[in-house]
A and B are shown apart, each in its own frame.
Chain A
Amino acid sequence: MKFIVSSGQLLRSLQSISGVINSNNTLPILDNFLFSLAPSALKITASDLETTMSTTVRVEADGDGLAAVPARILLDTLKSFPEQPLTFTFDAKAGVVEISSDFGKYSVAFLDGTEFPQLPDLENASSAELPAHVLTTAIQKTLFAAGNDDLRPVMSGVFFQFAADSLTFVATDAHKLVRYRRTDLGTDHTAEFILPKKPLNLLKGSVGNGDNTVTITHTAANARFEYDDTVLTCRLIDGKYPNYEAVIPRDNPNKMTLDRTSLLSSTKRVSIFANKTTHQIRFKVAGNELHISAEDVDFANKAHERLTCHYEGNDIEIGFNSRFIADMLGNLESEEVRIELSSPNRAGLIVPSDGTENGEDVLMLVMPVMLNS
């Protein structure tokens, strides 16, 4: 088994999937890339048992076969080469692969590729297609809101909900919630599944913003994303996603519209003076003014800012964790945002008032903190 490949191309392919590999694995074989050589193409796979990603590189091949090559050494070596052809020669008897470059020769031991974990079969799978940029945006808009709580695993991922008339992506950690919906797209079959964080992060970095199609195939337990030369297969989070529609408040009598960036920078500035562990800030809306204030009693720190806004509704005073507000505002791109409130102990709604594409619908929800007045 032997092949010749461009060093730059191989490095790019390896880097696109190397994020799957954990830094310390219980199974030693998972520290390797699986090389499976077929005539004229090399398929490279990386896995952590939960998530498996593979990509294909064009090579000049001689023979075929499987080999698991140590990932760290391979990446470090390839990074140090300028663009040039490399020859990989596998000696099955000695269990050593020899790499020849313009500069010299390097050998490294490889493992038997058949020991590499097999991908699960996706039986009775249903599939859907969507443009790459839609998937990337959906992940970018939602992933930050997902939780980290091991006790509530369903909330640690993003909920995909596909229907004939819309695609919906939801993330929440029980304090904040983001719903990203595309009403201009749809799928033949309805589908619902929860994707864990790791594959989402990998997809976010590798799917790209192009118009190319991503094909999603999924069963109850697994999902597969196919795009370009890459295939990502991952296990889904098992469980029932909370009924998020039920917690989105329908009637919010108090509506405030204001400039997003000034609200964001005010929030960030004021929160410097807030308690370092609770990050509590106070919004007080009266007339056409929003007063943002924070206080850290222990250190006698205090801040107060005033912003003009367009406001319809009754005067209201409500407390928030400033980090949630900053995260959400920072994740939007619009000029202005609309904040809808009902009462100091009910969720506040943040929606962009402009800048969204046709058919795009972004909704953010944040729970307040209790204020003692």
Chain B
Amino acid sequence: MERSILHMDLDTFFVSVERLLDSRLRDRPILIGGSGDRGVVAACSYEARAFGVHSAMPMRMARELCPEAIVIHGNSATYSAHSQAVTEIVRESVPVVEKASVDEFYADLTGVDRFLGTYKMASELRSRIALETGLPLSFGLSINKTVSKVATGVAKPNNQLRIASGEEKTFLAPLSVRKIPMVGEKMYQSLRNLGVQTIGTVQEMPVDLLQQVFGKPGKTLWEKAQGVDPTPVVPTQERKSISAERTFERDTLDAQKLEGLLTAMVENLCFQLRRGDKVTSEITLKIRYADFETQTKQRKIPYTSADHVLIPLAKSLFRELHSRRLMVRLVGVRFGGLVGGGMQFQLFEQEARVHQLYEALDAVRKKYGDRAVVRASGLHARSIGGASNPFDGGPPMLLARRRQ
């Protein structure tokens, strides 16, 4: 059966939220992101884009390009709340919704035709969201996720576009290959080196050639270029890992600071695990030196979610990993191999008491927030935690104040 897939995207979401809170920001170039030397642009208004600014650009460069822009730190919690409000409206009106990120939704409207007509329904939903939340948004409607997403991109800003069934190929043909969601900077460069500029060219290429160049993704790319994408709209995503990382404002060699930060990160992640009733079987440490060399170290462990196991392990992995006599730019921890379940208690260790302690600590955190009780050694580490529950089925949160 032919499907009807809707893709909705809130236009310059962070900026729109800020404008909602302060109307003076309207029609002015705005940059949102960390303002320090290492901040990156998390979002920018269309007025700023006219200056050549784009997201993920270093903040310094953006300010040089557009000196009159207003720079805002941003507040992830506020954005989450607004995103939540939009999500609720969408969930109310549509049967199957996938929240792809903080400002993006896919909805499967297949079968709604019989009653309402999908385009009419999508248009009504769009105006309802715009009216109730005050946030501008665009949508694309077609037979699959890829074409809808591309259509949204073309429709933007604050507009809508329907690609009639059977028109997918002709719609995609004149567009740049960069518009296909899976094409990143690297793939785009390779395609340009092959002399490919528009999706139309990809459509005419033999699939074998693409497969030779890109391997398996080559085939997917070719299919997407043909307007074929069978992936379903999945309402919830299962988290396979959780992680935390931090780029320092200034590179550091301060072992105490580094270990304190690690402690804080692991402690918070452990709490997330226990709250989600999960245990991890794999810990990965990541370190980036001042010269951008990035190294990771991974270890398989028996299933656990205990601070007293994971914190010393993270520290010892970090000591093994930190071998170069060089300043550190970033540290990160990831817990992988997550499965649902409680951790196994051990004989010969005073574990019963430790777990009672965790229960008590977790109860305080659930009531007063993640960072209500922390180890003193990790007290100085700010901006750790405070994130939403990673196991609620939603997409990972996008931080407003990122550093590179």
Which A residues are closer than 8 A to B by beta carbons?
A: 172, 174-175, 177, 242-244, 247, 275, 277-278, 280, 296-298, 319, 321, 343, 345-347, 365, 367-372
Contact = CB atoms under 8 A, between A and B. Distances in A.
Nearest to A280: B341
Category for how many chain B residues contact A: 20 to 34
Contacts of B274: 372
B343 A370 contact: yes
B351 interface: yes
Contacts of B299: none
Contacts of B339: 275, 277-278, 298
Interface string B22-61: 0000000000000000000000000000000000000000
Contact of A278 (B279, B346, B355): B279
Given A277-B281, A345-B351, A345-B355, 5 more contacts: A172-B347, A175-B344, A280-B342, A347-B345, A369-B345
Contacts of A298: 238, 339-340
B352 interface: yes
A369 B340 contact: no
Contacts of A347: 345, 347
17 contacts: A243-B348, A247-B347, A275-B340, A277-B303, A277-B339, A277-B341, A278-B340, A296-B340, A297-B340, A298-B340, A365-B347, A370-B342, A370-B355, A371-B342, A372-B274, A372-B277, A372-B342
A221 to B, nearest CB: 25
Contacts of A247: 347-348
A282 B109 CA distance: 41
Contact of B352 (A177, A243, A244, A345): A345
Contact of B344 (A244, A297, A321, A346): A321
B317 to A, nearest CB: 15
B356 interface: yes
Given A298-B238, A370-B355, A278 B347 contact: no
Nearest to A370: B342
Contacts of B279: 278
A371 B348 CA distance: 20
A321 B339 CA distance: 14
A369 B348 contact: no
A24 B274 CA distance: 45
Contacts, number: 65
Nearest to B354: A345
Residue from B238, B340, B346, B355 with most neighbouring chain A CB atoms (10 Å)? B340
B351 A278 contact: no
Contacts of A277: 281, 303, 339, 341
Nearest to A176: B347
B341 A278 contact: yes
A362 to B, nearest CB: 17
Nearest to B275: A372
Given A277-B303, A277-B339, A278-B339, A367 B355 contact: no
B343 A346 contact: no
Nearest to B342: A370
Contacts of A321: 344
Interface in B323-351: 339-348, 351
A369 B344 contact: yes
B345 A345 contact: yes
Contacts of A367: 344-347
Contacts of B341: 275, 277-278, 280, 369
Contacts of B344: 175, 321, 367, 369
Contacts of A280: 341-342
Given A278-B279, A278-B303, A242 B348 contact: yes
A132 B73 CA distance: 78
Contacts of B303: 277-278
A177 B347 contact: yes
B340 A174 contact: no
A177 B347 CA distance: 9
Contact of A369 (B238, B343, B347, B356): B343
